[in-house]
Structure 1
Amino acid sequence: MGALLNAMMPSSGGLPDDVRSLLKRLKRYLRRDQLHRIRRAYEVGAAAHEGQTRKSGEPYITHPVAVAHILAEIGLDGEAIVAAILHDTLEDTPLSREEIESEFGRDVVELVDGVTKLDKVNFRDRQEATAESFRKMVMAMARDLRVILIKLADRLHNMRTLGSMAPESRRRIARETLEIYAPIAQRLGMNRFKAELQDLGFSALYPMRHRVIAEHIRQLQGNRKQAIERIEEAVSRRLKQEGIRHRVVSRVKSPYSIYQKMLKDRKPLSQVMDVYGVRVITDTSMHCYQALGAVHGLYKPVDGRFRDFVAIPKANGYQSLHTVLIGPFDAPIEIQIRTEDMNVVAERGVAAHWSYKTNGTGSNAQNRARDWLSGLVEAQARTGSSIEFVENVKVDLFPDEVYVFTPRGDILSLPRGATALDFAYAVHTSVGDHAVTARVDRKLAALRRRLDNGQTVEIVTAPSAQPHPGWLEFVATSRARTAIRNHLKRLQHEDAVELGHRMLDRALSARGGSIELVPGPRLEQYLADLRFKRLEDLLSDIALGNRVAEQVAAQLLSDAPPAEDAVAHPVAVGERILITGRERGVVSFGQCCHPVPGDDIIGYLSAGKGVVVHQTVCRNMPEYRKAPERLVAIAWDRHVEGDFRVQLRIVVMNKPGVLAGVAAAIAAAGSNIAHVEYTERDLEAAVLLFTIEVRDRRHLAAVIRSVRHTEVVHSVQRAIG
């Protein structure tokens, strides 16, 4: 096991108070041999962290012991407690993975590794390092849910002791807690963790707002203490009369939840009335509904504020009946009704009734969490950037859900604001990819239609349909967003390969060769030198403007190694590449001159963008011709598809209704208006710059004729950069 662990034997003397307290709590539910392992973990951890202190000046080992305390409070198993005590050793001490595994076993070292950040890897910035560490943690979570429980406990104790950090660090950690860790706790049903993380994060990020709201709550509690006591007594008395076993607990909402309500309802603090809540805990589900009827008979319910999460649990397994009543003093009171088991799940989520080796037969909360995590793993496998993955996870961590039905009657949970297209991708990726329209409650609806609770949704598909870039503007779930992006990336790659092939073929042909005449070993060596796995990768790189086709052709037809400064040979004008406008992501159109089909054009290779098409009369062409190796001889194909943007400079009379008249003339010619602005204006005349969409030069001419016939127009001409 090595000298390091041997040197970590405990010195004589008693254990610190916090460790004795931890062992005392664990003694209630762990065996003696497990307690011995936890004590040994403390000895190893204390020795490994010897000499290290926290920002507060305390010995560092107090932090992992506090994390273990938090996990002991929710009854986590012995292996997780050991891992909690050792969770920072791989990151901050000389202790190795092999030494931990030798002493405590493979499961413990996997847990420790799962919560260890990737700080020792070189990243461009803190954001990338944090994102990649989070991606690593998600993968570990999918293997063992205890990873996230340890991480949440670690974050909770760090938030409790955040005061010793520098102000900028406090704000960064608080924002990350509110955006990532509190929503994860909620998604896992761990409401006790979520509530404390939110309030601590809110207090650190907005200390003044937190202080004002907390003081307001204290004043309300003092003023209405008797009213709350009256409500508790009245509810309890009525339930007793109905013969329902129960206990009643009153609560005051946290400053953070009140702050969120202020933002959502756009109300000042003085107008937020429902700050009180009463929780009724019964023994059976049937008694929950009976209790609901009893309290509705006691106080008047608020219309539209009843939610049944017993029959339809939330995605995190949460079950409860929610209703809002008008109590004494006309103040709204939120009532939650649930069983004892539901209450345990609501407080602890995946940690309730913990049994980590379930082989798929664990609690509903745990199984739901595993389903969610498997979805995240599937998403991360399709996402190239770790930062993009974190943003997708944020999108998926909505606090509210809508519940909709498939035509077969199955229930799907989606985040608030989800659309019919999100529903399609939730059913299956192929359903989303080929979606055309939807039927919501048997009525035709657009794919962008937002869904409400209880609706039945059916997706109409077609084999020829495929994702559109515009879909990214309205989908709400990370699953849909990732699937759409991947499909578009795949199409872009296919188009890039095709265009790159044409560009390289043309360059080789100009030198009297072809790709078929390049010897196989020569081509393989060339790809290896450039670290390309396949010829397709090279062709894509050419189309995206990262490599010049003429240089590649020169190098392939000679024995010279690949070089960026190879001499370029201008391409003959007659050897043009034909474009159709369908080349997604690899052909774009210059915003300076707005070329349309029928114009004389030339391409310019821009690194990362591919071929940017310009008119040959574009004002920027003299500058582009200084780099002839980047010019691409192109022309329009016979069959061109799509609409192309062009600008019109229109001089009009300066009087009311002019803009509407010109817009009507453009629409009458079958063109869409993308943008319009006034560029000049005086008492007599005004100059309007319209950006419109046309099919080709003939269509553009028709639009110009239509505009010229408008009485208020003095002149109209195409604006060319």
Structure 2
Amino acid sequence: MSAVRNLRKLSRAAVLGGTSRGSLPDAIEHVAKVHRALHPGADLRALRRAYVLAESSHRGQTRKSGEPYITHPLAVTLLLAQLGAETTTLTASLLHDTVEDTEVTLDQVREEFGDEVCYLVDGVTKLEKVDYGTAAEPETFRKMLVATGNDVRVMSIKLADRLHNMRTLGVMRPEKQERIAKVTRDVLIPLAERLGVQALKSELEDLVFAILHPEEHARTRELVREHTERLDPLTGVAAQARRLLREAGINAQVLIRPRHTVSVHRLWLKRGELGPCDFGRLLILVGEDADCYAVLGELHTCFTPVITEFKDFIASPKFNLYQSLHTAIADDSGRVAEVLVRTRRMHRVAEAGVIALGDPHAAAEGGQETAEENPGERADPTRPGWLSRLLEWQSHAPDPNTFWTELRDELAQDREITVYCAAPGAEAPGGGALPLPAGATCVDTAYARLGEAGHRCIGARVNGRLTALSTVLRDGDAVQLFLEPANGSPSGPSPEWLDHVRTPAARIAIRQWLSAHAQATAENDTGSADGTLAGTHDADTPGPDDAVEELSDQPTESTPVVPGRPDTPVRLARCCTPVPSDAVIGFPVRGGAVTVHRDTCRAVARMLSAGRPTLPVRWEQGAAGCRVTLRAEAFGRAHLLADLTETIAAEGAAVVSADVEPPREQRVRHTYTLQLPDAKGLPALMRAMRRVPGVYDVTRAVHDLTTG
């Protein structure tokens, strides 16, 4: 009701005109009074000139409600003044519709009020539908967000403008009310949340709720009405808390803070039934950060704390600047009250967010107002992580529909994490802090850190462990990215990446790459993820059902022999493919032959425990080398098989057979049976294979075979 009374007062003053003390027009005297209370030294001359220009340029225009149009910029300016906005913001607010709806030009605003006011007015001026058609609304929001990236006060004015329009939306047609309410819900309310302007956000939520869900809104309002007719039990809990803190010598203000309508509705949905203490919370305001923890200690000592409800947003502020201690306590009567504990400065920022931080340019220059009044406060709130990400990806979304869709998806993410990601190739796995939305994956990290070079990402370690690219990251994770070689075209992302990305930047980059390489992607999808021989299986390569007695049917050339039995047939077991210099052991099999295993083979332990007899075996070097089976573990990419076989050939080995298993979570396993000219070259060959980009391990194959 106070908002309605203020609006009526402004309407009368705007119509009647006149001036009051200090030569301020009557219409802005109330605005000036509110402004002076928070900024006593403010120079109001620009504010007066702005009102005179706005009133004269809007004269004769009326709103749908029939009121003089000037009441709208006046009401928006009053909202911002109540939130503590500085004079430049209020000046631009009075003028915010002049360029859009009157004959006033940006050049006139710049000449009369300077570059800053001109920038703010331009930032909130809508683009014309005659020029942009249906793209006017998304492109207007894109323009505002880009302007907000340089000066957050642009969005402050837009939020206050939308709130006053929502307050007076009842004069519009129902279908237009619904359309405006949906945009407010999907875009403006999330922006208010991210900028920390809770006072505007809460009222916007309630107004949208009433339009889009009238039945639920009416039911919730009835619950609130019934509650207000009874004695609020929080009054008794608040009195106990005041007495407790006074006796502890803590100077604190204890208030009862009613929940707004949407907050009550959400709690009802969560709990199914509301108790008498659920319609509000205790708000305790103190002077210093240390006092917050002193209050917490007293509350948890003298009441019964509900530990699951405790959250410390002072030590770990939310990404929208919000700081408070949250807890819940129960008194001897069993009444449970939620409690917020914060300093008065924290409370001002919690209510007004970035508006409370004043002029970011003045703060950055060590300048005026908020910067002087509150040294140590965050100097530049205009580029939090989410806004930097938004400004980056929007530049790659030329299509207005794509921008509009991705903007809503981006703003739907209501939490943020920080991961640490070094540039690929850096010695340490950690690196620069990288803010990402909650739910982001290694793929999101790659594009956030590398831009389009994220196309080359083939794997990642998280906190030192190899992990799938689809892994969802947690706050504080250290991420190390693996890239394919920079020379040549990247193999690029797979379509599956779209299933587990959360950031618009990653989504847009992946879609653009897939669109540009649609034919190549289709061809790659018919084969393996690395485009090579997926699923091939040579008859000489052992399969999972082979028995341990099955032997290589190829000549070995470097021959194991049984001492004293030169004519005994000797074969190499396929499960461990021993080569010269390996320590080996022989087992007699049917037909008088001997099977030779590496002594570390798992089959050896099983057969020894079963009582199988053994025979000693030694190597006799032949003239034509030896055969070995190697297994390469790698991140899937194009040309991997070609690079590995080229490396194998360069080391003088020949590929007898190759098997590439289907990829799993971007990783592939290649198994090669190789003929080496000399077993002594095996270590060098394995080292060379490990150096192939994307390969993270090469081992001697040990097949899990069962004995017959």
TM over 0.5: yes
1:233 maps to which of 228, 239, 247: 239
5+ residue gaps in structure 2? 1-14, 421-428, 486-490, 528-637, 640-660, 665-708
Residues 370 and 338 (structure 1 numbering): CA distance in 2 closer, same or farther, change over 3 Å? same
| Structure 1 position 133 matched with structure 2 position 137 | no
Residues 287 and 486 (structure 1 numbering): CA distance in 2 closer, same or farther, change over 3 Å? farther
Which residue identity lines up with residue 462 of structure 1 in the other structure? L
Query: What are the superposed Cα offsets for residues 88-109 of structure 1, whole Å, 9 maximum, x if unpaired?
Result: 1111112222222233233222
Residues 495 and 52 (structure 1 numbering): CA distance in 2 closer, same or farther, change over 3 Å? farther
Query: What are the superposed Cα offsets for residues 601-637 of structure 1, whole Å, 9 maximum, x if unpaired?
Result: xxxxxxxxxxxxxxxxxxxxxxxxxxxxxxxxxxxxx
Classify the secondary structure of the residue corresponding to 1:244: coil
1:232-381 matched pairs, under 5 angstroms: 232-262=238-268, 265=270, 268=272, 274-326=278-330, 330=334, 332-357=336-361, 358-359=363-364, 367-371=380-384, 372-381=386-395
Displacement of 1:63 in angstroms is 0.5
1:492-511 matched pairs, under 5 angstroms: none
Which residue identity lines up with residue 136 of structure 2 in the other structure? A
Displacement of 1:469 in angstroms is 2.2
| Corresponding position of 1:390 | 404
Q: Aligned partners of 1:40 and 1:25: how far apart in 2?
A: 18
| Corresponding position of 2:210 | 203
Displacement of 1:79 in angstroms is 2.6
Query: What are the superposed Cα offsets for residues 536-563 of structure 1, whole Å, 9 maximum, x if unpaired?
Result: xxxxxxxxxxxxxxxxxxxxxxxxxxxx
| Corresponding position of 1:52 | 61
CA contact (8 A) 2:459 2:483 kept: no
Residues 481 and 364 (structure 1 numbering): CA distance in 2 closer, same or farther, change over 3 Å? farther
Displacement of 1:324 in angstroms is 3.0
> Aligned residues: percent identity?
36
1:48-197 matched pairs, under 5 angstroms: 48-125=57-134, 128-197=135-204
Displacement of 1:151 in angstroms is 0.8
| Corresponding position of 2:610 | none
CA contact (8 A) 2:360 2:380 kept: no
| Corresponding position of 1:700 | none
Tell me which moved more, 461-470 or 151-160: 461-470
| Corresponding position of 2:593 | none
Which residue identity lines up with residue 479 of structure 1 in the other structure? A
CA contact (8 A) 1:53 1:60 kept: yes
Residues 374 and 479 (structure 1 numbering): CA distance in 2 closer, same or farther, change over 3 Å? same
Tell me which moved more, 320-329 or 43-52: 320-329
Superposition RMSD on alpha carbons, in Å? 3.7
| Corresponding position of 1:679 | none
Residues 73 and 338 (structure 1 numbering): CA distance in 2 closer, same or farther, change over 3 Å? same
Q: Aligned partners of 1:375 and 1:366: how far apart in 2?
A: 20
| Structure 1 position 448 matched with structure 2 position 470 | yes
| Corresponding position of 1:422 | 444
Which residue identity lines up with residue 72 of structure 1 in the other structure? A
Which residue identity lines up with residue 110 of structure 1 in the other structure? Y
Displacement of 1:169 in angstroms is 1.3
Tell me which moved more, 483-492 or 172-181: 483-492
Which residue identity lines up with residue 231 of structure 1 in the other structure? V
Residues 77 and 282 (structure 1 numbering): CA distance in 2 closer, same or farther, change over 3 Å? closer
| Corresponding position of 1:660 | none
Q: Aligned partners of 1:449 and 1:217: how far apart in 2?
A: 44
Q: Aligned partners of 1:671 and 1:426: how far apart in 2?
A: 25
Displacement of 1:133 in angstroms is 0.6
Q: Aligned partners of 2:72 and 2:192: how far apart in 1?
A: 20
Classify the secondary structure of the residue corresponding to 1:87: coil
1:462 maps to which of 483, 489, 509: 483
Displacement of 1:349 in angstroms is 1.1
Displacement of 1:321 in angstroms is 1.6
Displacement of 1:461 in angstroms is 1.9
Q: Aligned partners of 2:264 and 2:468: how far apart in 1?
A: 36
Residues 445 and 75 (structure 1 numbering): CA distance in 2 closer, same or farther, change over 3 Å? same
Tell me which moved more, 442-451 or 50-59: 442-451
Q: Aligned partners of 1:261 and 1:481: how far apart in 2?
A: 34
Residues 287 and 79 (structure 1 numbering): CA distance in 2 closer, same or farther, change over 3 Å? closer
Structure ID, larger Rg: 2
Displacement of 1:307 in angstroms is 1.9
Residues 14 and 273 (structure 1 numbering): CA distance in 2 closer, same or farther, change over 3 Å? closer
| Corresponding position of 1:480 | 506
Q: Aligned partners of 1:328 and 1:421: how far apart in 2?
A: 52
CA contact (8 A) 1:382 1:486 kept: no
Query: What are the superposed Cα offsets for residues 661-712 of structure 1, whole Å, 9 maximum, x if unpaired?
Result: xxxxxxxx9999xxxxxxxxxxxxxxxxxxxxxxxxxxxxxxxxxxxxxxxx
Residues 312 and 428 (structure 1 numbering): CA distance in 2 closer, same or farther, change over 3 Å? farther
Residues 32 and 285 (structure 1 numbering): CA distance in 2 closer, same or farther, change over 3 Å? closer
Query: What are the superposed Cα offsets for residues 441-487 of structure 1, whole Å, 9 maximum, x if unpaired?
Result: 555543333345x5534244232674222222222233332343344
Residues 25 and 288 (structure 1 numbering): CA distance in 2 closer, same or farther, change over 3 Å? closer
Residues 486 and 333 (structure 1 numbering): CA distance in 2 closer, same or farther, change over 3 Å? farther
Give the structure-1-normalised TM-score. Answer: 0.61
Displacement of 1:366 in angstroms is 5.9
1:625-640 matched pairs, under 5 angstroms: none
Query: What are the superposed Cα offsets for residues 26-73 of structure 1, whole Å, 9 maximum, x if unpaired?
Result: 445668994233222222222211221101000111111111111222
Classify the secondary structure of the residue corresponding to 1:304: helix
Residues 381 and 399 (structure 1 numbering): CA distance in 2 closer, same or farther, change over 3 Å? closer
Residues 189 and 122 (structure 1 numbering): CA distance in 2 closer, same or farther, change over 3 Å? same
Q: Aligned partners of 1:287 and 1:438: how far apart in 2?
A: 44
CA contact (8 A) 1:27 1:35 kept: no
Q: Aligned partners of 2:184 and 2:252: how far apart in 1?
A: 36
CA contact (8 A) 2:452 2:509 kept: no
Displacement of 1:121 in angstroms is 3.7
Displacement of 1:155 in angstroms is 0.8
Q: Aligned partners of 2:434 and 2:281: how far apart in 1?
A: 29
Displacement of 1:425 in angstroms is 4.1
Residues 337 and 156 (structure 1 numbering): CA distance in 2 closer, same or farther, change over 3 Å? same
CA contact (8 A) 1:402 1:414 kept: yes
CA contact (8 A) 1:131 1:386 kept: yes
CA contact (8 A) 1:350 1:366 kept: no
1:595-606 matched pairs, under 5 angstroms: none
Q: Aligned partners of 2:416 and 2:256: how far apart in 1?
A: 28
Give the structure-2-normalised TM-score. Answer: 0.62
Which residue identity lines up with residue 325 of structure 2 in the other structure? L
CA contact (8 A) 1:316 1:368 kept: no
Classify the secondary structure of the residue corresponding to 1:370: coil
Displacement of 1:385 in angstroms is 1.5
Q: Aligned partners of 2:229 and 2:449: how far apart in 1?
A: 51
Residues 415 and 40 (structure 1 numbering): CA distance in 2 closer, same or farther, change over 3 Å? same
Which residue identity lines up with residue 193 of structure 1 in the other structure? L
Q: Aligned partners of 1:221 and 1:474: how far apart in 2?
A: 47
Q: Aligned partners of 2:512 and 2:177: how far apart in 1?
A: 36
Q: Aligned partners of 1:11 and 1:217: how far apart in 2?
A: 39
Displacement of 1:203 in angstroms is 1.7
CA contact (8 A) 1:404 1:457 kept: no
Which residue identity lines up with residue 131 of structure 1 in the other structure? P
| Structure 1 position 212 matched with structure 2 position 204 | no
